[in-house]
Amino acid sequence: MSVGAKRKQSTIGEFFGKKSKKVKLVEKKETVDVEVDALVEIKSEVQRADQDQLATAEGVDTMSKKLLVSLSPFLRNLLTLEIESMEYSWLKELQAEFRKPYFVKLKQFVTREQQVHTVFPPAPDIYSWSRLTPFDKVKVVIIGQDPYHNHNQAHGLAFSVRPPTPAPPSLKNIYKELKQNYPDFQIDNTKGDLTPWALQGVLLLNTALTVRAHSANSHAKQGWETFTRKVVEALVKDREQDDKSLVFLLWGSNAIKMVESLLSKSSLSQKKNLKVFKSVHPSPLSANRGFFGNNHFRQINDWLYNERKEKMIDWSIVPGCHLEEVQRANSTLETSKNS
């Protein structure tokens, strides 16, 4: 993780706004005054750490411990997961969200659910998407909906399942489409972990990041949608300012509506570094109505390679297997850049 040159230290007022608020929260018939100013201290610490000691993973760990010690017990319990498990570049981009009333209420709701019910994914995996695909590395965004709600499935990546869980129905259909795009793609329905995609810059983001066991959509409309919308908005705003490539792969009306509403307010839609692909969801209920045959995986790679002069995504999911066409193209691109 690289750290930029040192910048002039901003005041707390300049960095986070001069006004502070108190948010009224009711939990177990008790009223709790959450001092939002306490969260300002978190973000000030993040900025100072960025200047002096976040060049290494050890620096990140030191920062997290320092922040936790500085918090009140209430806020420490509420935000420990975000501070300790969210990847640093995403933490920087999303830091303002953690001090907003909706997020505090959301975290209270999730905490209560975790105390009474089994919640998926396990807490350490809720933000795994951020650790596997850092902010600056995102090239492709695939948006899902709810995490899988059965045991040993959800692990923080949309459409992906925790090993050794086999591929669910929607993912099986994704594999079928990939086979049509690349004949040498090896289908193995016993494999459902899409971590190799995430490591190549494919952000696998659900619109809700948690769910109660065996209860689909049980954490919908509690605040996660607002948060994940901000995740996408942060990417859009960043790519407006530079020439980094960004592809949206939108399957289903929910994903399409969210991203199109953001792009309609953005100049990014007029830039050459954006590409959007849309179709119905890969669910067995809709895949035959336009998902099969959409050729999205090949189109993404063709655009990255031919228009953007960037490496293709190797969509292989079986360890040791590779797409030969992608491997050759990426090798050629690497050679040309080095010559």
C-alpha separations of 305 from 256, 300, 312 in Å: 25, 9, 6
CA proximity to 243, closest of 264, 268, 212, 219: 268
| Angle ∠(260,251,152) on CA atoms, nearest 5 | 125
> How crowded is the C-beta side of 43, counted as CA atoms within 13 Å?
23
- Among the listed residues 146, 238, 242, 243, the single catalytic one is 146
Q: What residues are paired with 227 via a beta bridge?
A: none
Q: How far apart are alpha carbons 97 and 84 in whole angstroms? A: 16
Q: How far apart are alpha carbons 32 and 220 in whole angstroms? A: 25
Contacts of 140 (CB under 8 A, 6+ apart): 201, 202, 203, 246, 247, 248, 249, 300, 313
Count other C-beta atoms under 10 Å from residue 98's C-beta. Answer: 21
Q: Which helix (H) or strand (E) holds 249?
A: strand 246-251
Whether the Cβ atoms of residue 217 and residue 108 lie closer than 8 Å to each other: no
Q: State the alpha helices, DSSP H only, in 12-142.
A: 12-16, 36-52, 57-70, 73-85, 88-94, 101-116, 128-132
Cα-Cα-Cα-Cα dihedral sign, residues 101, 103, 104, 109: positive
Which pair of tokens denotes residue 79?
Answer: 């935000």
DSSP labels, 219-244: TTTSSHHHHHHHHHHHHHHHHHHS--
- Does residue 146 carry a catalytic annotation? yes
Contacts of 246 (CB under 8 A, 6+ apart): 138, 139, 140, 141, 235, 236, 239, 268, 273, 274, 275
Q: How far apart are alpha carbons 179 and 318 in whole angstroms? A: 13
Active-site amino acid positions: 146
